[in-house]
């Protein structure tokens, strides 16, 4: 891949600072609302709608990310990134001013549309602005900031609610988001669209893909299995249409190669195992170990720290160790971690926390390195599409894994806790192990078609 000409160092540093502000806001917004929702419900009512401000943000940010990625290949990255930030800030402003749950839910949907752009195009822009060795370090830093922001989000939300108003959970995006917008406007390079000539957008494929993805996430959230089957059929139709379009939403041509296929499917399977586990580990702390709400939050800390730490470490090792070896390290660690999860479902809290750190470490090595390698192997014309496909598959995997693991645990076990809950969690961990074992098997094909070597990393671009 040939990157666009680098911006002058100062301008590029300020552009990265703007992108960093934007990605921090998107990461915080996905978790900060958790501690604000009880207060929101007391003020606005609508207890039966409690889950929707979370679910609708996840839905719109997930299903729009491939749309933003491919559109940036066709129309240019900077203008769409700026549009995404504006939409995100508009959604934040309306959320803060919401007078009813219906308005809040609609505003959160709008926020999610903007967040889909910010998340996808940040990593795409970094992939375009830097040489591969620089990119590894910058994206490692961004991954670390994302992890830390997600970790402190609930704490930040609690402090805001306790000392101000829940509305400032959303309003505070404005004084930080507006500088991010202005820095991006001033310092992001104006590059031409990656694809030249007449723009051909696959409207039918985009419509079917959006409809199928939205139905799938919604059906999994509420366990509507007939709708799950329908959504899979719609997604199958979308793929059929996409395979016949010259500029599909998903880079179908790229996915025929080993590396992009491992990147997308590996993220889907590992994301299902990891994020499904994250969703139910707090239940272990409260329902099995008998700890309080604080312990339920703390048990996730080692997983997030493991991912954050090894993403930063992988950025430093990638040019010396090579991407194939780092990716396989990550999947090896994931398999070991989920074997231990399945064995230690009745173990003390500290043991589960230690295994969580191991699982996060595996994700950091594997997911970070795969993203870097796939970007390096992709043409500039498909960079937005392939980046968004990997991020989308990871998020979609999380939705699928959470639903499947919840079904295996069972509502009765969740309600009763104790040994019944531990047994249900053990079944869920076994499913997660199967998923990462399949991902591990797929990753072994990289030995036959290796990723870029350390020498290639140093001479790339």
SS3 track for 125-156: HHHHHCCHHHHHHHHHHHHHHHHHHHHHHHHH
Q: Predicted confidence band at 51 (pLDDT cuts at 50, 70, 90)? A: low
Query: Rounded to whole angstroms, how far apart are CA atoms 397 and 224?
Result: 17
Query: Rounded to whole angstroms, how far apart are CA atoms 277 and 254?
Result: 30
For residue 76, how many C-alpha atoms fall within 13 Å in the half-sphere facing its CB? 10
Closest CA to 14 of 129, 124, 114, 121: 129
Q: What is the pLDDT of residue 272?
A: 93
- 196: three-class secondary structure by DSSP: coil
Q: What is the pLDDT of residue 116?
A: 93
Higher pLDDT: 59 or 48? It is: 59
Query: Rounded to whole angstroms, how far apart are CA atoms 90 and 94?
Result: 6
Q: Predicted confidence band at 297 (pLDDT cuts at 50, 70, 90)? A: low
- pLDDT of residue 397 exceeding 70: yes
With the C-alpha atoms ordered 171, 174, 175, 176, is the resulting torsion angle positive or negative? positive
Max mean pLDDT among 5-9, 58-62, 138-142, 292-296 falls in 58-62
Q: % helix / strand / coil in the chain, to the nearest 5?
A: 85, 0, 15
Give the number of other Cβ atoms within 10 Å of residue 415's Cβ. 10
Q: What is the pLDDT of residue 461?
A: 42
Q: What is the pLDDT of residue 1?
A: 41
- 108: three-class secondary structure by DSSP: helix
In angstroms, the Cα distances linking 402 to 223, 240, 248, 268, 438 are: 11, 28, 29, 12, 18
In angstroms, the Cα distances linking 427 to 267, 288, 344, 410, 411 are: 22, 15, 12, 10, 14
CB contact at 8 A, 29 and 82: no
Q: What is the pLDDT of residue 407?
A: 83
pTM of the model: 0.82
For the ranges 31-35, 348-352, 372-376, 409-413, the lowest mean pLDDT is seen at 31-35
Q: What is the mean pLDDT of residues 227-252?
A: 87
Q: What is the mean pLDDT of residues 106-114?
A: 94
| Dihedral Cα 419, 403, 334, 34, nearest 10 deg | -90
Q: What is the pLDDT of residue 118?
A: 94
- pLDDT of residue 358 exceeding 90: yes
Q: What percent of the chain has pLDDT over 90?
A: 33
CB contact at 8 A, 282 and 288: no
Q: Predicted confidence band at 341 (pLDDT cuts at 50, 70, 90)? A: very high
Q: What is the mean pLDDT of residues 158-168?
A: 85
CB contact at 8 A, 341 and 298: no
DSSP string of 267-325, one letter each residue: HHHHHHHHHHHHHHHHHIIIIIS---HHHHHHTTHHHHHHHHHHHHHHHHHHHHH-HHH
Query: Rounded to whole angstroms, how far apart are CA atoms 38 and 459?
Result: 53
Q: What is the pLDDT of residue 6?
A: 43
Q: Predicted confidence band at 199 (pLDDT cuts at 50, 70, 90)? A: low
**Mean pLDDT in the chain?**
84
Tokens 């700026």 belong to residue: 82
Q: What is the pLDDT of residue 70?
A: 87
- pLDDT of residue 237 exceeding 90: yes
Q: What is the mean pLDDT of residues 376-386?
A: 84
Question: 88 CB contacts (<8 Å, ≥6 apart)?
Answer: 22, 25, 26, 29, 111, 113, 114, 115, 117, 118, 173, 177
CB contact at 8 A, 358 and 340: yes
- pLDDT of residue 191 exceeding 50: yes
**DSSP, res 191:** P
């Amino acid at each position: 891949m040939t990157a666009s000409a680098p911006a002058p160092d100062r301008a590029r540093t300020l552009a990265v600072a703007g992108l960093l502000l934007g990605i921090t806001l998107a990461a915080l917004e996905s978790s900060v609302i958790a501690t604000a929702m009880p207060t929101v419900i007391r003020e606005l009512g609508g207890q039966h709608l409690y889950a929707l401000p979370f679910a609708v943000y996840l839905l719109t940010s997930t299903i729009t990310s491939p749309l933003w990625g491919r559109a940036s290949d066709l129309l240019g990255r900077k203008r769409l990134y700026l549009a995404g930030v504006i939409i995100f800030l508009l959604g934040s402003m309306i959320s803060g001013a919401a007078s009813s749950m219906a308005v809040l839910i609609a505003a959160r949907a709008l926020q999610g549309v903007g967040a889909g752009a910010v998340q996808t195009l940040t990593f795409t822009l970094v992939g375009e602005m830097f040489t591969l060795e620089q990119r590894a370090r910058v994206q490692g830093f961004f991954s670390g900031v994302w992890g830390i922001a997600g970790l402190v989000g609930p704490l930040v939300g609690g402090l805001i609610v306790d000392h101000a108003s829940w509305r400032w959970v959303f309003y505070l995006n404005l004084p930080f988001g507006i500088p991010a917008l202005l820095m991006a406007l001033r310092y992001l390079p104006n590059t031409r669209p990656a694809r030249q000539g007449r723009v051909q957008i696959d409207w039918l494929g985009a419509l079917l893909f959006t409809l199928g993805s939205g139905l799938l996430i919604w059906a999994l959230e509420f366990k509507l299995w007939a709708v799950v089957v329908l959504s899979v059929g719609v997604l199958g139709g979308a793929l059929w249409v996409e395979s016949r379009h010259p500029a599909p939403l998903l880079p179908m041509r790229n996915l025929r190669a080993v590396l992009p296929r491992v990147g997308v499917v590996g993220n889907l399977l590992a994301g299902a195992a990891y994020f499904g586990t994250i969703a139910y580990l707090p239940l272990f702390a409260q329902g099995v170990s008998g700890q309080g709400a604080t312990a339920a939050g703390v048990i996730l800390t080692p997983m997030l720290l493991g991912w954050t730490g090894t993403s930063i470490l992988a950025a430093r090792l990638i040019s010396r160790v090579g991407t194939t070896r780092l990716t396989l390290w990550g999947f090896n660690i994931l398999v070991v971690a989920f074997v231990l999860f399945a064995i230690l479902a009745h173990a003390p809290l500290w043991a589960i926390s230690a295994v969580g750190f191991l699982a996060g470490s595996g994700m950091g090595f594997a997911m970070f390195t795969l993203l870097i390698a796939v970007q390096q192997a992709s043409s500039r014309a498909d960079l937005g599409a392939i980046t968004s496909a990997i991020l989308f598959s990871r998020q979609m995997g999380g939705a699928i894994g959470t639903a499947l693991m919840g079904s295996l645990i069972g509502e009765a076990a969740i309600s009763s806790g104790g040994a019944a809950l531990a047994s249900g969690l053990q079944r869920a961990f076994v499913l997660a192990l199967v998923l990462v074992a399949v991902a591990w098997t797929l990753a072994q094909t990289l030995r036959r078609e290796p990723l870029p070597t350390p020498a290639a990393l140093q001479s790339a671009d």
